[in-house]
């Protein structure tokens, strides 16, 4: 997609959040089906973090080894062709992301602007949260969160790579949303390449 389209999709997500917030929403859960778009999420994570595609790409719905290898090749080829700039998260989102991920980015940013609690569920939503934080680190630095990383993403060290302890992951019930997700140069949401990153399965 073009950067203009990516911004428009972010805007749609922000509008949805704002509309619901005006009706009393005080917590939002980011989640996604993950049918096909784990490929785009893996491309985003690999591009921003600098980790290899194989490190952040799992088997999704349980694909066999041959299909997984084809998936890796597709993601690597997309990154090679599109050349997303890891220093420009909007560029990454536009070049290797998807509209639905952009929408989740908008939801996250709008929630941050209103200090609305966010639960991040799974690999694709985590990729969207990563883009949001990279796009607007200062704005997301006060985003109230108590995050649960479930299923495949949990098995792939998502929580540790984001600085979320096992206790925090296990604590799915939001308790006052006192925890905060912060920037990649800030407190609890920070990426340390030596600690890995989520895989999609």
Q: Which domain holds residue 21?
A: 3-195
pLDDT at position 175 is: 26
Among 21-25, 26-30, 143-147, 195-199, which is the least confidently predicted range?
143-147
Find the mean pLDDT for residues 179-192: 32
**What is the domain-level CATH number for residue 70?**
3.40.50.10210
pLDDT for 84-142, tens place per residue? 999 999 999 999 999 999 999 999 999 988 888 888 888 898 899 889 988 987 766 65
Q: Two tokens at 108?
A: 């996250």
Q: Two tokens at 63?
A: 């694909």
User: Quick check: 88 and 96 in contact, CB under 8 A?
Assistant: no
Rounded to an integer, what distance in angstroms lies between the CA atom of residue 173 and that of residue 117? 12
Residue 103, domain member (yes or no): yes
* pTM score of the predicted model: 0.75
Q: Count, in order, helices (H) and strands (E) of the chain.
A: 11, 4
Find the mean pLDDT for residues 16-36: 89
Residue 200, domain member (yes or no): no
Residue 185, domain member (yes or no): yes
Count up the domains in the chain and report the number.
1
pLDDT for 29-68, tens place per residue? 888 877 788 999 999 999 998 889 998 898 877 889 999 9
Residue 201, domain member (yes or no): no
Backbone phi and psi for residue 118, each to the nearest 5 degrees, phi listed first: -125, 135
Work out whether the CA dihedral 130, 144, 158, 37 comes out positive or negative.
negative
Residue 48, domain member (yes or no): yes
Q: Please identify which residue in the block is written with the tokens 């108590």.
A: 146
Backbone phi and psi for residue 195, each to the nearest 5 degrees, phi listed first: -105, 5
């Amino acid at each position: 997609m073009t950067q203009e389209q990516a911004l428009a999709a972010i805007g749609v997500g922000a509008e949805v959040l704002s509309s619901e917030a005006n009706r009393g929403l005080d917590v939002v859960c980011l989640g996604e089906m993950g049918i096909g778009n784990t490929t785009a999420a893996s491309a985003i994570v690999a591009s921003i973090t600098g980790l290899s595609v194989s490190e952040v790409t799992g088997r999704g719905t349980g694909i066999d080894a041959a299909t997984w290898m084809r998936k890796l090749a597709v993601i690597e080829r997309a990154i090679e062709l599109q050349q997303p700039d890891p220093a420009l998260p909007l560029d990454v989102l536009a070049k290797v992301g998807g509209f639905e991920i952009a929408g989740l980015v908008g939801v996250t940013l709008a929630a941050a602007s209103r200090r609305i609690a966010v639960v991040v569920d799974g690999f694709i939503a985590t990729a969207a949260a990563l883009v949001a934080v990279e796009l607007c680190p200062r704005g997301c630095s006060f985003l109230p969160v108590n995050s649960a990383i479930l299923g495949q993403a949990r098995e792939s060290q998502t929580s540790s790579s984001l600085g979320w302890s096992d206790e925090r992951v296990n604590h799915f019930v939001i308790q006052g949303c006192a925890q905060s997700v912060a920037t990649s140069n800030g407190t609890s949401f920070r990426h340390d390449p030596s600690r890995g990153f989520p895989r999609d399965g």
